[in-house]
Amino acid sequence: MRIARLDLTRYGKFTDRSLDFGAARPGQPDLHILYGPNEAGKSTTLSGWLDLLYGIPVQSRFGFLHPYATMRIGAALELPGGQRLELARSKGRHNTLTDASGAALPEAVVQAALGGIDRAGYEAMFSLDDDTLEAGGEGILASQGDLGQLLFSASAGLADLGARLEALRRGAEVFHRPGARKGRLADLKAQLEAIEAQRRSIDTQAADHARLTEAEAQAEAEWRAVQAEQAGAAARAEALRRDLAVLPVLARMRQVEADLLALGPVPMPPPGWAEALPDLAHDEAATVARLEETEAAIVAVEAELAGLCPDPAVLALAPQIAAVAALKSAHDEAAKDLPNRRAEAAEAVQIVAGLMARLGRSGGAPRAVLLDAATTGRLRGLIAARSGIEARVRAARTEAAAAADRQAGAAARLAAAGGVVETGPLAELVARLRARDPDQALRQARRQLAQADAALAPRLAALLPWRGSAVDLAVMVPPAPRVPDQMAAGQEAARRALAEAEAQQARASADAARHGAVLAARQTAGRITPDVAAAARALRERAWAAHRQALTEPTAEAFEAALRADDQITAQQAAAGAEAQLAAQAREAQALARLDQAAAEAAATEARAELARLDAELARIVGSLSPALGAAVQTPADLRDWLALRNAALEAQAGVAAAQADCAAAERDATEARIALAGTLAAAGAVPTAKAGLEALMAQAQALCDAGVRLAALREAAAEASRAAARRAEERQQADAADSVWQADWAAVCAGCWLGEGPLPDVAAMEAILTTLEALDRAVTSAEALADRIAKMEANQAAFATGMTDLSGALGLPETAPWPEITARLQRAEAIEAARAKAGAALNAARGKAQALRAQAGRLAAQIEDMAGFFGVTGLGPLRVCLEEARRRQALEAVRAAAQAEMTEAFGADLPAALDRLPAADRAALEADLARMTAEAAQHAQAAQQAFAALSEARRQLGAVGGDDAVARLEEARQTVLLETAEEARAHLRQRFGILALDHALRAYRDGHRSAMLRRASQAFATISRGAYTGLAAQPDRDREVLVALARDGTSKLAADLSKGTRFQLYLALRVAGYHELAQTRAPVPFIADDIMETFDDDRSAEAFSLLAGMAEVGQVIYLTHHRHLCEIARTVCPAARLYHL
């Protein structure tokens, strides 16, 4: 597939933009350079191509100019077999791919052309940018130069394959890593061991559980009985405390009732009267004082009003005075300014007359001479165009003459050059040979053959003490590659098993001895017989019965001693039971330890036998390879290393064979190129130099091509000169026609005004006339404005004089009265009027305030009299006495109510009975009864505490035997850990097998593509490094092969040890080789590189373009750049490259 045309119809910043890449040229590289500055749309073009193939995403970042619904991309594609496909893509959910007629196309059409590559695959394998190049260089570092990884990542475009594979390996080692003591598997095993130990520690007999359950029930029944006795004693003591607490309350209530009786009946006033009376008395006094002040203020304001005399005559004329005042400033300004304005008006009239005389229109009306704006605009437009038309006519005539002279000179030079045969085929062949450079390829092939021969000898020498040829080495039958690793793993596992068995044997022996010692110690512990325990319990019961009957201090001490003795015996019994249980556990643990010791001895014997078998198998394999290797190969690692050296030697031998084939092919290519070039020279009319080398023939062919280029240039120059002469003649005719049109327009405009009455003025005269008319227009406008202003000033003076006469008559003043006298009289009248208004308002406010104060004083006095009448008294003094008595009675009743509430709360429904018996109660007798009941309650509390301690001990012993579901829960936890172990082990094995499969696939890909792809990458690396490195080679490294760069001075470096910039160049060389490898198995698709030479100098950029040109001989290659110098380098390296500007 290749792109013939890409249409960015409505996409990103583009509108109706089309890039025509043209048809492929047979025999020439299909290389295209797309140039544009930053933000020109290069990356947009690449995204548009991918969106055309795979669809525009739902959220596209290229819909900022055109709405989503209108986005559209199109293309014309050339498919294998010469088929051409026109298609377009719009944004939507369904049927977004259409053909040229707008009919929907299935996505399978494009997918078939792509060979099933998805978008991610296309971006990885057939596009390359600066970020990917850098990631590829870092990938070389991450892979540690592994050959298989590098070859596959270059073909598939997976720049970070090494880092991903290393991350997978680290993830697999989290669960288990051979030889490591820590990890998820070790943690799970530790959990299982802890669960098993806990289960063994709580396992006991069912009979012990039943016995302890019965003991717990009996202890609980005893505790509940003692607790009931304690509750009864506590209730009796509480009743006595309540009676003692209520006695003072009862006495207080009796005293309050006596006080109320002595006080007698008192009317109860409404709530708040006692608090409100002081405020009422204060408000009444304050109101009377404010009323007296207000009445004095009223007298003062009335006196002030009597002294103010108004002037109604001048106040009535206030509007007329204001109107005349408005004319006063204009009158004064006119008196000062009129002489100047009259002089200016006379001067303006003289200027207008002078301008009319300059125009030759003296005596006429100035406004009739002025031109309208349209006529003036047309005249000025014609004046502005005249200079351009005259310059155009002059230039057209001069350039027409010069073009005729150039045409004659070009024809003369073409005639003098003579004829040369066509050199097109020769030029194409020279370009192809320069791009291929067969001589350089032959020299490179010979160098590589010498290097391969030099590399083979040390690799054969590295196989000592084995001696033989490469053929002997090839016919040798080695073991499978995995056998050494399997044997090493087997030996390691057997040694580890032997060490673990010996360690387990030592631990089991120590455990057996330790448990034996514990068992001997437990058997010597003393025990309490059942008879002794029963006697102690009977003694405690008798002591308790005696104490309950006597309740004396000696019986209490006897009961305490019996209780302590019984507790000690019970504790000794519990300790003896625990010792018996521990002894049983010790016997069981000792038996298990002996079993573990026997199993460890068997495992150690088995491990030693396995080590002996593996040693014998290693000796057999080494002997079958060569008896000479017996002393050198002692371990599986030695065998693996020797086999790796053998593989390296075979690889070197294969490299020699491949280099010989490459050298022969390069010699054939150089010979065929010389023959083809000599034949093409002869066909072009040249005689090739006899027995000349390819380089000499190339120089001869280049000289002939240069002559053909010069002749073609002369022909093109003559044709261009003829075309230029014809264009110049036509331009002269157009200039003369434009001049004629201007003359006609000039006459027509002048005929439409007074300018056409005589001879037509030229351009210079017309410019002077228009300037004078502009000055006349300004002068006429100024004269008219001055006349209007003078008339208005004279009118203002007359209006002011009339107004003054009318005001003087109305006020009885003489007509010559001055203006300030009238304004001063008006100001005095207005001030008096304002003062009278203010005083009147103050008088009205004071009268209203006095009336309100009189009403308020009456209301306060009436309210006080109403309160005194409630008690049947008059005046404030008796009223205060009555309110105080009412307050005291209310307080006594509140105290009596509180006492009654307190007694009701204490006795409830029993209050009447309590009131009957409490007055006769003796406080001392009640206190004696309370002391006795408190002591009895304390004794019951101590007994309850002892019973609860016995119950707690019974429950503790029952809980200690584990008779609940603890064993079941531990078994459930054990099964859970086993399931987790199984699941995580399966996941670990899947990941391990996946890594092994990937390693195997990488090795298979390396073995299948090593020769051709490595050879092509080696050539590309030598080219792009400009000979600093002569090529690449593979070197064995334990169970893999690594890539080695061969320097020009004979040294070598591992790929991972190269500098950062050199790793970028190596990755580019590998990608070039990978592209050629893919092109051999599938039809190529367009390869797009986006400014990958940012860090390259000009020389390395030229070599990189030569590699891209080689890729372009296989398929279409498009390079995007914003560097102009790269375009020149590309055209120099590959003349067939096509350049496009965005």
Q: Establish if 919 belongs to a structural domain.
A: no
Please check whether residue 1122 lies inside any domain of the structure. no
How large is the angle between the packed helices 373-417 and 763-810, nearest 10 degrees? 160
State whether 564 and 647 are in the same domain.
Answer: no
At a CB cut-off of 8 Å and minimum separation 6, what does 711 contact? 417, 419, 420
Residue 139: the pLDDT is 66
For 661-730, the DSSP string reads: HHHHHHHHHHHHHHHHHHHHHHHTT--PPTT--HHHHHHHHHHHHHHHHHHHHHHHHHHHHHHHHHHHHH
The CA-CA-CA angle for residues 541, 546, 547, to 5°, reads 95
Selected residue with higher pLDDT from 275 and 147: 275
Quickly state the pLDDT bin for 147 (edges 50, 70, 90): very low
> Is residue 720 scored above 60 in pLDDT?
yes
pLDDT value of position 594: 78
Q: What is the DSSP string of 51-110?
A: HHHH---SS-TT-SSS-GGG-EEEEEEE-TTS-EEEEEEESSSS--EEETTS-B--HHHH
Task: Indicate whether 1086 pLDDT > 90.
Answer: yes
Interhelix angle 966-1024/147-156, nearest 10 degrees:
80
The domain in which residue 450 lies consists of 428-472+640-683
Q: Does 465 sit behind a cis peptide bond, omega within 30 degrees of 0 on the bond before it?
A: yes
Average pLDDT in the 352-360 region? 80
Q: Which of 784, 870, 1140, 1002 is nearest to 277 (CA)?
A: 870
- 450/571 same-domain check: no
pLDDT exceeds 60 at position 162: no
Task: Take residue 1043 and report the two structure tokens written for it.
Answer: 């890539």
**pTM above threshold 0.85:** no
Number of domains in the chain: 2
pLDDT in tens, 563-601: 788 777 776 766 665 566 666 666 767 777 777 778 888
- Residue owning tokens 């092919």: 665
Do residues 467 and 487 both lie within one domain? no
Non-local (6+) Cβ contacts of 561 within 8 A are 543
**In b/e form, how buried is each residue of 674-706, taking b as 16+ CB within 10 angstroms?**
beebbebbeebebebeeeeebeebbebbeebbe
In terms of pLDDT, which residue wins out, 609 or 1004?
A: 609
Q: b/e per residue, 1039-1048, with b = 16+ CB within 10 A?
A: ebbbbbbbee
* Residue 741 domain-assigned (yes or no): no
What does the alpha-carbon distance between residue 604 and residue 505 come to, in Å, rounded to a whole number?
9
Residue 960 has pLDDT above 80, yes or no: no
pLDDT tens figures, 724-739: 888 888 888 888 888 8
Residue 829 CB contacts under 8 Å (≥ 6 apart), including other chains: 310, 311, 314, 315
Give whole-number Cα distances, 398 to 391, 407, 742, 805, 925, in Å: 11, 15, 21, 87, 152
More confident residue, 202 or 231: 231
pLDDT of residue 1115: 92
Q: Is the pLDDT of residue 150 over 50?
A: no
Q: Are residues 515 and 613 in the same domain?
A: yes
% of the chain at pLDDT higher than 70: 89
Asked whether residue 456 carries a pLDDT value surpassing 60, the answer given is: yes
Summarised one tens digit per residue, pLDDT across range 164-223 is 666 676 777 777 777 666 777 778 788 888 887 776 665 544 445 656 677 778 877 887
- Token match 């026109």: residue? 86
Band the pLDDT of 1121: cuts 50, 70, 90. Answer: very high
**Rounded distance, CA 452 to CA 463, Å?**
18
Is the predicted pLDDT of residue 34 greater than 50, yes or no? yes
Q: Tell me, what DSSP letter sits at residue 1055?
A: G
The DSSP secondary-structure symbol of 126 reads: S
Give the residues across from 128 on adjacent strands. 1089
d(CA 641, CA 647): 10
891-902: b (≥16 Cβ within 10 Å) or e? ebeeebeebeeb
Give me the pLDDT at residue 26, please.
87
Are 150 and 140 in contact by the 8 Å Cβ rule? The answer is: yes
Kindly tell me if the per-residue pLDDT of 362 is higher than 90: no
Residues 490, 607, single domain; the answer is yes
Task: Answer with the residue of higher pLDDT: 1055 or 998.
Answer: 1055
Same domain, 486 and 594: yes
End-to-end Cα spacing for the chain: 24
- Sign of the Cα pseudo-torsion (416, 418, 424, 429, in order): negative
Q: Please check whether residues 486 and 605 belong to one and the same domain.
A: yes
Q: Could you count the other beta carbons within 10 Å of the beta carbon of residue 255?
A: 12
Q: What is the tens place of the pLDDT at every residue in 825-860?
A: 778 877 888 888 888 888 888 888 888 888 888 888
Q: What pLDDT, on a 0 to 100 scale, did the predictor assign at position 579?
A: 64
User: Which of 143-147, 659-663, 814-818, 1019-1023 is the least confident region?
Assistant: 143-147
Mean pLDDT for the stretch of residues 618-646? 81
- Percent share of the chain, pLDDT over 90: 8
pLDDT at 52: 92
469-508 exposure pattern, b = at least 16 Cβ within 10 A, e = fewer: ebeebeeeebbeeebbbebbebbeebeebbeebeebbeeb
pLDDT at residue 140, as a whole number: 59
Q: Could you tell me if 569 and 593 lie in one domain?
A: yes
With respect to residue 451, please indicate whether it lies within any of the assigned structural domains. yes
State mean pLDDT over 695-711: 73
More confident residue, 17 or 762: 17
Name which residue leads in pLDDT, 51 or 1000: 51
Q: Identify whether the C-beta of residue 281 lies closer than 8 Å to the C-beta of residue 867.
A: no
Same domain for 505 and 592, yes or no, is: yes
Does some domain include residue 512? yes
Question: Is residue 35 situated within a structural domain?
Answer: no
Residues 504 and 570 in one domain: yes
* Model pLDDT, residue 1129: 92
Question: Does 337 fall in a domain?
Answer: no
Distance CA 881, CA 661 (A): 141
The rounded mean pLDDT for the chain is 79
User: Are residues 463 and 490 both part of a single domain?
Assistant: no
Task: For residue 528, give the H/E element and its range.
Answer: none
- Distances from the Cα of 620 to the Cα of 616, 639, 904, 905, 1039, angstroms: 6, 12, 112, 108, 22
The region of weakest confidence among 43-57, 142-156, 222-236, 247-261 is 142-156
Assess if residue 766 is contained within a domain.
no
If asked whether residues 547 and 567 sit together in one domain, one would say yes
